[in-house]
Structure formats: structure tokens, C-alpha cells
């Protein structure tokens, strides 16, 4: 096959497929810049860092000066996406970002993380917060009450922005035969995008549900992250389209 020939795995240029269409197992997700086909059994829903640190008043982002006032609708949308994924047999994987309460895992002055982490910088400015921000076992590190893992879900700690760095994610995905990743969480422009990018480099097909994410910083950070994903690294969809693709009626199940 030459560079300009139609790939065998693609039967419709308006639908991206990893492999040729099989016997009715696939579902089509409406997305940008084109629809993407996936099989639920080969797909995981990734819930990135939905911790009090990132989504709650009084959490790390809030204390560091970032606006978290608009996270409630995002939490609600992620809750719907999780329910839809579970109903469809899609593996749900939660991430929690943070370190031990002595911050050994965060790295010392020889690590760029020491100098760039806004959590570490905030604690250096406010020593009374030491051991409270992104520290395992503390409220800040905990997942928000609305999004609780259930039996069969996977919960992974991660020490840096990317969910692939120094975690079991890649080996777990391969062991389950998963090729497609659907992303939700906070922050779109930091940990969500970092994880999706690393997945792209490892040959995973990444889709972000735009209305189930929120940025750290001004609104243009969200728009820039979504642009990067849509243009260079993956696909962009919505919770409603995800529910439609897997046949989940959010209104009926909310009743």
C-alpha cells in the first residue's frame, strides 16, 4: 500500500476504524474531526484526577488561585459517562494524582516538578498547608463524593501529569485488550491532555468528552487543549454522543 492508498482498516473516510469492520460488534461515536468506531470490550473510560484537590472549593487548585466554580456540571457529566460506560461493559479507570505526605515522591530540587508544581509552590508559600495538598490519605487527595469507584473499576495513583508515566496503565490496558480510551476529568490542559498524548505515542486511540472536562486556568486553556487534541492527537466528543453510541438513556436512568 502506498501513502496515498486508502488504508484497508478504513471502509468509510468519515469513520475512523482501527481495523476492518467486524460482525456488528462495533459502535460509532460521533466526534470531531470525524466519527470513530470502537468496541466496548476494547475500550476504557479514563477518569482523570477527579479529586477534591481539583474539583472542590478549599482544594489545591482553589487555594493556588485557580477558578473551580464551574466544576459541578463537569462532575455531573462525568457521573453520567461512568454510568453509561459501566452499563456497556466498558472498563472504568480512575486516576488520583499526588504523593506521600512527606512529598518524597514529588522529587527534590533536582526535579523540574519541584519547581513547576503549583501545589508544591503553594505549600512553600504557606507552610501550614504542608502535608495537606495532594497528600495520600488526606481529603485533598480523595476522589469527590459524587464519583466513587465500584467493584470492577480500577483506581491508579500517579506521581506526575501523565497517567502513563510510572504507572501500571499501559500493562493493564494491554492485558485487557483495550485500544480505545475515552477521557474525562480535570485538568484538560494538564493531566488529561498529557495522558492522551502519551497514549497517542503508544498507539492508543484517544477521545476526550469535552463537556466532561475542565481546565486549570483561563477559558482559552480549555479551547487550546481541545484544539490540540482534535487537530493532532485524538478526537473530541460529548457525553450525550457517548451515551447515544453505547445505547444509554441518561434521562431514563436518572428517573
Which sequence positions are flagged as catalytic? 49, 158, 191
The cell numbers describing 66, all together, are 485557580
Half-sphere exposure in the Cβ direction for 62 (13 Å, CA):
14
* Cα dihedral 73, 157, 141, 153 sign: positive
DSSP code, position 144:
P
C-alpha cell at 255: 428517573
H or E, element range at 227: helix 219-228
Q: For the chain, what is the largest distance between any 2 Cα atoms, rounded to a whole number of angstroms?
A: 63
Joined grid coordinates for residue 156: 491508579
Measured CA to CA, the distance from residue 99 to residue 24 in angstroms comes to 44
3-class SS of residue 99: strand
Give the chain's end-to-end CA distance (angstroms, integer): 52
Cis bond upstream, residue 209 (ω within 30): no
Residue whose C-alpha cell reads 489545591 in the numeric block: 60
Instruction: Please report the DSSP string for 172-189 in residue order.
Output: HHHHTT--EEEEEEE-II
Contacts of 123 (CB under 8 A, 6+ apart): 129, 130, 132, 133
Amino acid at each position: 500500500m502506498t501513502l496515498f492508498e486508502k488504508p484497508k482498516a478504513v471502509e468509510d473516510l468519515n469513520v475512523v476504524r482501527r481495523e476492518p469492520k467486524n460482525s456488528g460488534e462495533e459502535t460509532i461515536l460521533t466526534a470531531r474531526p470525524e466519527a470513530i468506531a470502537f468496541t466496548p470490550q476494547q475500550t476504557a473510560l479514563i477518569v482523570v484526577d477527579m479529586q477534591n484537590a481539583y474539583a472542590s472549593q478549599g482544594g489545591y487548585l482553589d487555594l493556588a488561585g485557580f477558578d473551580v466554580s464551574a466544576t459541578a456540571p463537569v462532575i455531573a457529566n462525568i457521573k453520567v459517562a461512568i454510568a453509561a460506560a459501566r452499563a456497556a461493559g466498558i472498563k472504568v479507570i480512575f486516576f488520583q494524582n499526588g504523593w506521600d505526605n512527606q512529598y518524597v515522591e514529588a522529587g527534590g530540587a533536582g526535579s523540574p516538578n519541584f519547581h513547576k508544581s503549583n501545589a508544591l509552590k503553594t505549600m512553600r508559600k504557606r507552610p501550614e498547608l504542608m502535608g495537606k495538598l495532594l497528600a495520600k490519605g488526606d481529603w485533598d487527595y480523595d476522589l469527590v463524593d459524587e464519583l466513587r469507584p465500584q467493584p470492577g473499576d480500577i483506581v491508579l495513583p500517579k506521581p506526575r501529569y501523565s497517567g502513563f508515566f510510572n504507572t501500571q496503565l499501559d500493562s493493564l490496558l494491554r492485558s485487557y485488550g483495550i485500544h480505545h480510551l475515552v477521557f474525562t476529568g480535570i485538568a484538560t490542559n494538564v493531566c488529561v491532555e498529557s495522558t492522551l498524548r502519551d497514549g497517542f505515542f503508544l498507539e492508543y486511540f484517544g477521545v476526550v468528552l469535552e463537556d466532561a472536562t475542565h481546565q486549570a486556568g483561563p477559558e482559552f486553556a480549555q479551547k487550546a487543549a481541545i484544539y490540540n487534541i482534535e487537530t493532532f492527537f485524538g478526537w473530541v466528543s460529548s457525553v450525550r454522543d457517548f451515551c447515544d453510541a453505547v445505547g444509554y438513556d441518561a434521562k431514563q436512568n436518572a428517573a
